[in-house]
Structure 1
Amino acid sequence: MEKIIAIDVDGTLLNDDKKITQRTKDSLIKLREAGHKLVIASGRDYSGTEFIAKELDFDTYGGFLSNFNGGRITDYHTGEIIANHTLSLDFIKEFLDFIRDLYIDIMIYNEGKIFTNSMDTYWLHETASMNNMEIVLRENLIDDIDFEPNNILLSQDPSRIDPPSQKIYEKFGDVSTQVKSTPWYYEIMPKGINKGKSLMEIADYYKTDPANTIAFGDEMNDYSMIEAAGIGVAMGNAVEGIKEIADYVTLSNNEDGIASYIEKFIL
């Protein structure tokens, strides 16, 4: 039975050296050769996953890239965007005005670039590097934003991120989807948009029964995907909240956890 396999990137597909091991790469190629479909599901911008798709031979086998935690889905072969969920400009302006005095930093992806209002934004340069993106400084970004992004990425030192995040959730939790995707990232998406919905949109596109989907993840932005998939697989290094809802816990991202599951249960 043909399956759709959705795989998170950081902490899941990539090991701690930010590499895809040869064993994992080989297992994912054999997976496609056997007729299964592969989806890269990430909070990253498209440019932060395109080079990974090339490494996994998407040029030969095709597949989908789900970016911005489900905000946009792209058919790699054709470049067609099959789903594009954005935050309205009215929401963006109200949101950015609200967080103006909160101790939390702003990064917004647009047209393959990262927009920010300060070059001292926490984790800015690391984010730009891993996404292969140019940084655009707009000191008046809060007042002058003129585009509708798929998400807003907020960042702060892990020891300081929870108080402002809580205030943001109390204010906008009913009208947006919010998730702490790493200890230093807090992400805002359109209401109802997440990796789980994205996986179901792709299953619908392929006319595949959701029961024939498998998802791999490690952080709380993977929660909806692990929960929605026919089989949700937590990495051995996953946070406890993901392990608790997973159908199976595999080895860690440093131990070829993806390959171990694929070899044992699919191939």
Structure 2
Amino acid sequence: MDKYLIISDIDGTLAYDHQHVSAKTVAVLQQLLDAGHEFYAATGRMYNLAKVIADQVDDRAEIIASNGAVYDFNGDRVHHLMGEHALTLTEQAAAAQNLPAVYFTDDTVYYTKTPSQSVIDTMMSFASAAANIAVKQVHTLENLLGHVGEITNGIIFSPHDPESLARTMMTLAASNAMHLSASDATNIELIPKHVDKSTAIAELQAKTGIPASRTIVFGDGLNDLGMLKAAGISVAMGNAVPDVAKAARFQTLSNTEDGIAHFLENYFK
């Protein structure tokens, strides 16, 4: 049997409401795991938030978290860190525009400037009581840098001030100190330099020996564009943004219509 590497974004793709995976999608993925294929949930979420969703699929489901900065392989967990320089530049750029930046380890959220209630509400929409995460304010850059050895990625939210967000993006892009992405127009996702979901997939392809031609990737958002290019079989959800729909080789139904299950049932029949 030719083994496939099946990878799905979580929000807007695998999960139909940020919290749950449909019974039909779970059943199809479990059948493919039983057949010997590998499945990864790939997301910008921190590891413990991703695990809550992956565990709904199966305890054999693996995780690519923090936009590729963290991933599972053979019982181990690989980490790429943002580093002191990137953290310092991010704090300075966000502070200059009075925007909150939030940083992640596998199980802890750190911040210096208290986010607005709308930002907190956005973050909590992804949270789960089962996720086992801590949220800590560290107040100063110096205190934040005390956690430099564990922070893998971050995000800057600005749901109501796109101009400030754009200026922050320009400043950080000019620094060339990190990889920048976005899940939508209200945020900047901060990832270690030369890292994204696609680099994690490339590392997994090399380690497993599964080529791009047998890699299936599902996505819907802008931060999925890189990993779609890493797959020979790239699939945009029916609810995908236009750039993702254009980049993918195939399209399926939306995340609320069991789009993953629909495609996989037809592909492997």
TM-score under structure 1 length normalisation: 0.89
Q: Look up the match of 2:218.
A: 216
The CA distance in 2 between the partners of 1:247 and 1:3, in whole Å, is: 17
Q: Deviations over 1:25-67 (max 9, x none)?
A: 1111111112211011011111101122221112xxx242111
* Contact 1:196 1:224 survives alignment (8 Å): yes
Within a 5 Å distance, the mapping from 1:15-164 to structure 2 comes to: 15-16=16-17, 18-58=19-59, 62-75=60-73, 78=75, 80-81=76-77, 83-121=78-116, 122-128=118-124, 130-131=126-127, 132=131, 133-140=133-140, 142-145=141-144, 146-148=146-148, 149-157=151-159, 159-160=161-162, 162-164=165-167
Q: Is the 8 A contact 1:156 1:184 kept in 2?
A: yes
**C-alpha deviation, 1:213, in angstroms:** 0.4
Shift, 1:113, TM fit: 1.3
- How far did residue 159 of structure 1 move? 4.9
Counterpart amino acid of 2:203?
A: E
Does the CA contact (< 8 Å) of 2:48 and 2:106 recur in 1?
A: no
The whole-number CA distance in structure 2 between the counterparts of 1:120 and 1:84 is 26
Classify 1:17/1:39 alpha carbon distance in 2 versus 1 (closer, same or farther; 3 Å).
Answer: closer
After superposition, the CA RMSD in angstroms is: 2.0
Indicate conservation of the 8 Å contact 1:181/1:220, yes or no: yes
**1:179-210: per-residue Cα shift (whole Å, max 9, x none)?**
11123221111221111111111111111122
Q: Percent identity?
A: 24
CA distance in 2, matches of 1:125, 1:100: 21
- Which residue number in structure 2 is paired with residue 187 of structure 1? 189
Q: What whole-Å deviation, never above 9, does each CA across 1:154-184 have from its counterpart, x for those lacking one? A: 1111552642343234433x33210111232
Distance 1:35 1:111 in 2: 28
Measured against aligned partners, the alpha-carbon deviations of 1:84-121 in whole angstroms (never above 9, x if no partner) come to 21111133123312332214211111251111124434
- 1:129, distance to aligned residue in structure 2 (A): 5.5
Match of 1:4 in 2: 5
Q: Distance in 2 between matches of 1:245 and 1:55?
A: 29
Give yes or no for contact 1:99–1:168 (8 Å, CA) kept in 2: no
Distance across 1 between alignment mates of 2:237 and 2:126 = 21
- Name the SS for the 1:241 alignment partner: helix
1:168 alignment counterpart: 171
Counterpart residue identity of residue 256, structure 1: D
- Residues 168 and 226 of structure 1: is their aligned pair in 2 closer, same or farther, counting only changes over 3 Å? same
Is contact 2:90-2:172 (8 Å) kept? no
Partner SS, residue 254 of structure 1: helix
What one-letter code is carried by the residue in structure 2 that aligns with 1:52?
I
Q: Does 1:207 align with 2:209?
A: yes
- Counterpart Cα distance in 1 of 2:13 and 2:193: 26
CA distance in 2, matches of 1:158, 1:240: 23
| Matched-pair contact (CA < 8 Å) for 1:158–1:183 | no
Equivalent-residue separation in structure 2 for 1:36 and 1:150 (angstroms): 28
- Residues 8 and 40 in structure 1, CA contact (< 8 A), matched pair in contact too: yes
- Give the conservation status (yes or no) of the 8 Å contact 2:82–2:153: yes
Distance 1:63 1:170 in 2: 34
Q: TM-score, normalised by structure 2?
A: 0.89
SS in 1 for 2:91: helix
Instruction: Report if aligned partners of 2:215, 2:231 keep a CA contact under 8 Å in 1.
Output: yes
Given the superposition, is the C-alpha separation of residues 225 and 111 from structure 1 closer, same or farther in structure 2, using an over 3 Å criterion? closer
Q: Distance in 2 between matches of 1:157 and 1:143?
A: 27
Q: Does structure 1 retain, via aligned residues, the 8 Å contact 2:55–2:61?
A: no
Q: Which runs of 5+ in 1 are unaligned?
A: none
Aligned length: 259
Q: Note closer, same or farther for the CA distance 1:240–1:159 as it changes in structure 2 (3 Å cut).
A: farther
Which amino acid letter does the alignment assign opposite residue 171 of structure 2?
I
